[in-house]
Amino acid sequence: MEIVYLSDYPQYAEIVARWIFEEFVKSIRPEVTLDMVLNRIKERNKYDMPVTVIVLEGNLCLGTVSLFNNDLKNRPDLEPWLASLIVSKEFRNRGIGKILVDEIIKIAKNRGYKQLYLRTEKAVDYYKKLGWDYIEETFDDIIGQTTHIFMKNIIE
């Protein structure tokens, strides 16, 4: 397995956009299209936020995760955020999610951040298992959903 910046492997932009659209956008943001997500993905690079990495095994893209300045507009005081962690269904339960989370932690640390945040509507137990600290439950007015905020100290 190899973790690489998506911007260095643009041939995987479409699959990553489709995953993000299906998992995080389609059911809660009907005004956002797959093409809009794909265009945003194609704009990313490895120097500016948001940053997106993927894990490859041969020619297969197994999963993705991103680092955002902010992933929850009603909490502008918190940054940066781990966002859009997805592992393709057929490759789950192999530790790939943790590998991707660890890579984003490394990237955030290399950029000088001391903490990293994330939000989740579905994976509370997963992030607790990975050692993230639960901060609070809040309501996201933009998507009209309750979400849970976690934090991780990343400076040793």
Burial of 114 (0-12, 13-18, 19+ CB in 10 A): exposed
**What are 130's two structure tokens?**
């990975």
- pLDDT at position 142 is 81
Q: Which CATH architecture has domain 2-153?
A: 3-Layer(aba) Sandwich (3.40)
Q: Using CA atoms, how far apart are residues 30 and 153, in angstroms rounded to an integer?
A: 35
Taking 70 as the threshold, does the pLDDT of residue 124 lie above it?
A: yes
Taking 80 as the threshold, does the pLDDT of residue 156 lie above it?
A: no
Instruction: Please choose, from the candidates 106, 89, 94, the residue with its C-alpha nearest in 3D space to the C-alpha of residue 51.
Output: 106
Average pLDDT over residues 58-69: 96
Average pLDDT over residues 74-88: 94
Give the number of other CB atoms < 10 A from CB of residue 12. Answer: 19
- pLDDT at position 9 is 97
- pLDDT at position 26 is 85
- pLDDT at position 62 is 98
Average pLDDT over residues 73-90: 94
Taking 70 as the threshold, does the pLDDT of residue 70 lie above it?
A: yes
Residue 119 banded pLDDT, cuts 50, 70, 90: very high
Confidence (pTM): 0.92
- pLDDT at position 29 is 85
Contact 45, 53 (CB under 8 A): no
What are the boundaries of each domain within the chain?
Answer: 2-153
| Bridge partner list, 136 | 149
Instruction: Please choose, from the candidates 137, 140, 139, 63, the residue with its C-alpha nearest in 3D space to the C-alpha of residue 150.
Output: 137
pLDDT mean across residues, the chain: 94
Residue 155 banded pLDDT, cuts 50, 70, 90: confident
Give the number of other CB atoms < 10 A from CB of residue 77. Answer: 7
